[in-house]
């Protein structure tokens, strides 16, 4: 009888401790859920992710088949979505708030790339530092292409840049 009483007391102590652990586990889960919500409101892109966005935007800006620049952010967003693993953006897609933040960042980066390209184009034809078409091609490919600088990029790229330079010099 004493052994059974001791065993029953031990079982009740174990059950009591198990309930305390379950309550503590529940409060830990609530704390983690609260931290996750707070992290969602303070989300920021890493410097590597921002650099990847800028690289893709510059590369697409320099694409010889690109004739409109105002919709560059759509093309960049599509490319990033297709290659999200390669550009370390897997933590963004699937979360609407983060995707919205990424869209805003893409728009800002594309605007900056467009302005830089416009200024480089302007400076190549106006002012004291004008340059030849081959120099402009090399300078712009160095700044915007992922592969780096090259002055011999093929006739399509040279023709596109020549048209842009000519149209800008008329203004």
pLDDT at residue 170 tops 60: no
Q: Is the pTM of this model over 0.85?
A: no
Q: pLDDT confidence of 76, banded at 50, 70, 90?
A: very high
Q: Give 133 or 57, the one with higher predicted confidence.
A: 57
User: Cβ-count burial of 140 within 10 angstroms (0-12 exposed, 13-18 middle, 19+ buried)?
Assistant: buried
- pLDDT at residue number 82: 93
Q: What is the pLDDT of residue 9?
A: 87
CA distances from 95 to 92, 138, 160 (A): 6, 40, 39
Whether the Cβ atoms of residue 54 and residue 113 lie closer than 8 Å to each other? yes
- Identify the pLDDT of residue 150: 61
pLDDT in the model for residue 75: 92
Statement: residue 127 has pLDDT above 80? no
Tokens standing for residue 46: 């890493």
| pLDDT (0 to 100) of residue 79 | 93
Once rounded to an integer, what is the mean pLDDT over residues 64-85? 88
pLDDT for 70 equals 86
């Amino acid at each position: 009888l004493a052994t059974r009483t001791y065993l029953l007391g031990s079982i009740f102590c174990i059950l009591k401790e198990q309930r305390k652990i379950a309550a503590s586990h529940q409060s830990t889960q609530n704390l983690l859920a609260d931290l996750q919500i707070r992290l969602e409101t303070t989300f920021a892109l890493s410097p590597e992710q921002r650099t990847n966005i800028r690289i893709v935007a510059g590369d697409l800006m320099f694409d010889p088949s690109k004739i409109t620049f105002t919709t560059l952010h759509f093309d960049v967003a599509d490319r990033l979505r297709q290659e999200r693993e390669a550009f370390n953006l897997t933590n963004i897609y699937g979360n609407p708030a983060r995707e919205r933040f990424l869209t805003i960042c893409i728009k800002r980066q594309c605007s900056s790339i467009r302005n830089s390209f416009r200024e480089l184009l302007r400076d190549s034809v106006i002012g004291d530092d004008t340059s030849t078409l081959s120099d402009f091609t090399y300078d712009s490919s160095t700044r915007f292409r992922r592969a780096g600088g090259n002055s011999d990029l093929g006739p399509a790229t040279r023709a596109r840049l020549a048209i842009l330079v000519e149209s800008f010099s008329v203004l």
